[in-house]
Every structure is written in C-alpha cells, then in structure tokens.
Amino acid sequence: MRQKERPMKVYTFISPLTPFIDPGSLIYEKPEDYGFTIFTKTIDGYYDLLDRGKSWVDFLNYETIWMKRKDIENNTYMAEIEMMKARIEAGLIEKSLGEEIIENIRNYAEGREYNANKNLNSHLSYINKDLEWSRKHKITKTSILVYWYSKLNKIEKEFEKL
C-alpha cells in the first residue's frame, strides 16, 4: 500500500554564531588561525556584553577579518530578506505578508520606524526580542548565578586592592 504524499513543509532560519563563540572550540582556542577576533572570554565579560547590549549585535563577542560586527548584522538582515522572498516564491507565506515583513526588516536595519510585533511567535518578533533582551527576559537560575558571580568577582577585585 502506497503512502499518501503530503506536501513538505520547509522551515528556514538565519543566524550568525550568536552571541558567543563556544568555549573549547577551535575558533575560541586559536581565533587568529581562523581569522577571528574574540573580545571577551570571561564570565564578567559575557555578563557585561549582555547587560549593556541593546541588540543581538551588541552581544557578539567576536568579529572576523572578513566581517566586522556591523557587517555581520547587515548580512544577517539581507539573508533574512532573501529567505523571506524564497518563502513567498515557494508559497509558504502570503505575498502581502511577506512583503510587509521584508519592508519591516529593511526599516529596522536602516534605523527607520518599524513595527515591533508583540506576538513573540510571529515572523516579526525577533526584532522586538532583540531590542529588549537584557532587561525584559525572564530571570533564570543561570542568569542569577552569572549575576552573583559577577558581583562576587568585583568584590574580590576590591579586596585585592586593599
């Protein structure tokens, strides 16, 4: 008995290595051999990137000899636009909605007014989540531990000065 053919669903996603290069990886251990510059390797440094950052680009702890942080950001948005065009062409999203999303991505990338969708499951949600990451995400056990580690480390440095 032949199985009934079902249309194949395609889910696409684009993302740079974000926000950090994995500790222990070859790039992390020998970044210069692979054309990378890593800005921080400490928990304090990671905490500072996440605490001060306003978007995912601010969280990146690296850049390459080929692409600076701004280049990584621009290429990520351009790739998402191209993937949205492919979704429209494949009939995975209505043309009008896809074009609205593309325009919204362009507006955001170029610093113009954009629609920050409150529905965190929608195609536009990543823009809203990225902008509000450091202050709006739920507190987790890990985030509490990182926070207290950061405070403890600062206290230890003060004692070392005495």
DSSP string, 79-148: HHHHHHHHHHHTTSS-HHHHHHHHHHHHHHHTT------S-TTSTTHHHHHHHTHHHHSPP-HHHHHHHH
Listed residue (19, 72, 57, 53) closest to 136, CA to CA: 53
In the prediction, which pLDDT does 135 show? 43
**Whether the predicted pLDDT of 11 surpasses 80:** no
- Residues near 154 by beta carbon (within 8 Å), at least 6 away in sequence: 44
Has residue 101 got a pLDDT over 70?
yes
Structure confidence at residue 121 (pLDDT): 44
**Predicted local confidence at residue 3, as pLDDT:** 62
d(CA 128, CA 114): 10
pLDDT at 60 over 80: yes
pLDDT tens digit sequence for 25-54: 899 999 999 999 999 998 888 888 888 887
Q: Using pLDDT thresholds of 50, 70 and 90, give the confidence band for residue 120.
A: very low
Residue 13 DSSP class: -
Band (126; pLDDT cuts 50, 70, 90): very low
